[in-house]
Amino acid sequence: MGGTQSLALQQGKGPHQVGCTDVMVGHTWQGLLLRLFYPCLPQGGAEQPLWIPRYEYCAGLANLTLLSCSAPLISLALGSCRVPVSWNGPFKPCSTGYPLIIFSHGLGAFRTLYSSVCLELASWGFVVAALEHRDHSASATYFCTAEDGREEWIPYQQVPQGQKEFYFRKKQVHQRAEECVRVLRLLEDISSGKSVPNVLHQDFSLSMLKGSIDLSRVTVMGHSFGGVTAVLALVKEPRFSAGHPSCCRCAVALDAWMFPLENALYPEVTKPVLFINSEKFQTPESIAKMKRLSSRNSQTKIITILGSVHHSHTDFTFLTGKLFSLIFGARGTLDPYKGLEITSQAALAFLQKHLNLQEEFAQWDNLLEGIGDSVVPEAPFCHPNL
């Protein structure tokens, strides 16, 4: 099996301990399922959540990699991996409110596969809502019906035969951006003290979040398909525009897959975006689309992490066994912890600037200009010195 498989995630480097819980609202596919990462109070002997929460997600990953017979193998090898956070840990109140990050996963992923970056950002004083999309882009997801609580699973869907991929993905990315908007509305309700029933009945009261989320400081973040989802979310809905008390001020796009964003929308993206790219995924055409946005807004930044691959932004890069790292193409030449450090520090510097945070994240501002170890501005094939 290529050696013992384990998930070598580290605790966040920020000053806060991190808790997490799952939230499901609604009894149809139009509801929401997300994992919340948040600063929590210390708790001795806290339970840590499973990284892959259900066997159905193993089956989804197996189907996606065209290794359907490997679902039991994935479950056996990875089913016991846990995330180093406090499951349903006691929320740490904050009188000024924590800024909010809404996180959108990539194609074929689900809400827990970016736990490394989500818990890292939460440790620096953010509430991170990692959404699980229901547009058939997750490897698997589900909702519970109202009648009997029966689970309805939503499988991953390939592009239908005979349909152009652009139009199929465009429809998905618009649904995804609308789901991000609904997460903001949900967190508005929770923060204002409205009673929001959690279908999953977790041992965590959402009422603890009342008054502790700063909805004037919101960003959308995502990887790959989630990266372009974050860009579209900036223009999707009026409450994501300047002037609304709950507004998204910027986006952070990790190796964004720009393909599904229609040309007519580019002029509407007026807010700053931080594009953090891997060395091995982007094309000149994709970089040109990012530069269309940076040419309109000098605060939009494009950087590339050298030695990284597309899955370097996911938790797969932290798998210690060789087999699954090979299956998922998860490892570049850069140490994964160094890659996470660059990603999180660049994101924190960008968020300090555009969310007007009173932190010390400006110490990493050089990263936003592509200055630093293993980072360059724009892309290697665009960079004059490479």
**Per the structure block, which two tokens stand in for 62?**
């197996």
* Half-sphere exposure for 285 (CA within 13 Å, toward CB): 6
C-alpha 121 chain-centroid distance:
11
User: Is 255 tagged catalytic?
Assistant: yes
Residues contacting 171, CB < 8 A, separation 6+? 135
Do residues 137 and 110 lie in contact, with contact meaning Cβ atoms separated by under 8 Å?
A: no
Annotated active-site residue in 255, 313, 325, 344 = 255
How many Å is the Cα radius of gyration of the chain? 19
User: Is 315 tagged catalytic?
Assistant: no
Q: Tell me the DSSP string of 11-32.
A: --SSSSEEEEEEEEE-SSTTSE
Indicate the SS3 state at residue 187: helix
Nearest by Cα to 313 from 256, 368, 367? 256
Annotated active-site residue in 223, 310, 311, 354 = 310
**Per the structure block, which two tokens stand in for 285?**
């055409």
User: CA dist 253 to 215, 222, 315, 374, Å?
Assistant: 20, 5, 16, 18
* Half-sphere exposure for 109 (CA within 13 Å, toward CB): 28
Annotated active-site residue in 224, 246, 278, 344 = 224
Catalytically active residues, by annotation: 224, 255, 310
